[in-house]
Amino acid sequence: MAQLTVLEPEGMYPDTDLEQEVFGPGVDFLHGGAPHTGTLDALPDAVCAKVDGLQIFRHWLTPKDIARFPKLRVVVRMGVGYDRLDRAACAARGITVCNVPDYGTQEVADHAISLALGLRRGLFLHHEMQRSDPPAPWRYVDSPLIRRAEVQGFGIVGLGRIGMAVALRAKAFGFKVRFYDPHLPNGVDRALGITRARTLEELMRGADVLSIHAPDTRETRGMIGARELAWLPEGAVVVNTARGTSLDIDALEAGLRSGHIAGAGLDVIPVEPPVDPVPGLVAAYRAKEPWLLGRVVITPHSAFHTPEAWLDIRRKSAETMRDVLLLGLSTNVILPDEG
């Protein structure tokens, strides 16, 4: 087999030792040349001309970019979501697209549960009240946020790897766990000891806590808007650690302002990073408007972040590229019409 070249343009890691170990001597692994703060335009034509495999993390891969890689056969998105890749352009060239769906499962599940518990136990609420000026009295605060876990329905939208990990964690804390995922076969509920909702409405109406774990697809974009949020019980909590496109953030703000929704924890928003004009909820949160103090927590798409997860991204991306480019396997392949 002729020598192959794989490129990771951001230079995310200090060396290429791990990748060379995974690929073996038949692959020349290059890294760097296009920092994540810019675009792939920074890459020299001579480098692009010899690339057989491309590993993408923060960059967008457009048709113009793809045209610069005449030998390109495989693209691995170094993460779960693949909306940064123009898959139609890749398909037109016969380029295989893959992702890495299992690098941060524990971290994102822990983050979702932490947001839910932090809101439902009043941790964020009491934290904000005790550092206000003047500080609140040295006593608990009565709030619709605070409830015992075992009396609450915990609804999960999307029971993939992360959704399943969240279900097991929520179950351990005593929540009554239900899920909605029309793509899963019968019996998953019995295997996990949780309850299946046959429709999104059925799930929402019993979800005192709603945790979203749906990918960004045509089917899921905008799936939870004002109508769906109104199905939630009074005083519900909404958590989203998946993709911001599935949840109407303006409808969420309206539900919070009306009091129908007691609290929300977001690790994702529709456009990241936020650009002007930022969503009203984000603006109010940053301004520390009194009506949402302790009721809303926003983290900057950081749910996946641990040193261990970064190492997983590195190894699993290289292993996926090896499997598909060198061995001809279908590891983590995303079909052109998927999503």
Alpha-carbon distance of 39 to 61, in angstroms, equals 9
Residues 6+ away with beta carbon under 8 Å from 74: 52, 53, 54, 95, 96, 97, 98, 321, 324, 325
314 is catalytic: no
> Of the residues 87, 120, 243, 295, which is catalytic?
243
Beta pairing, strands 53-56 & 236-240: unpaired
272 is catalytic: yes
Look up residue 182 and give its two tokens. Answer: 């029309």
Alpha-carbon distance of 113 to 169, in angstroms, equals 7
Query: Is the distance from CB of 66 to CB of 89 less than 8 angstroms?
Result: yes
> Of the residues 21, 201, 234, 272, which is catalytic?
272
**Cα dihedral 239→245→251→256 (10° resolution):** 20
| Number of C-beta neighbours around residue 330 at 10 A | 11
257 is catalytic: no
> Of the residues 84, 126, 301, 305, which is catalytic?
301
Cα separations in angstroms, 246 against 1, 106, 259, 279, 317: 44, 22, 22, 15, 26
Which residue numbers are catalytic?
Answer: 243, 272, 301
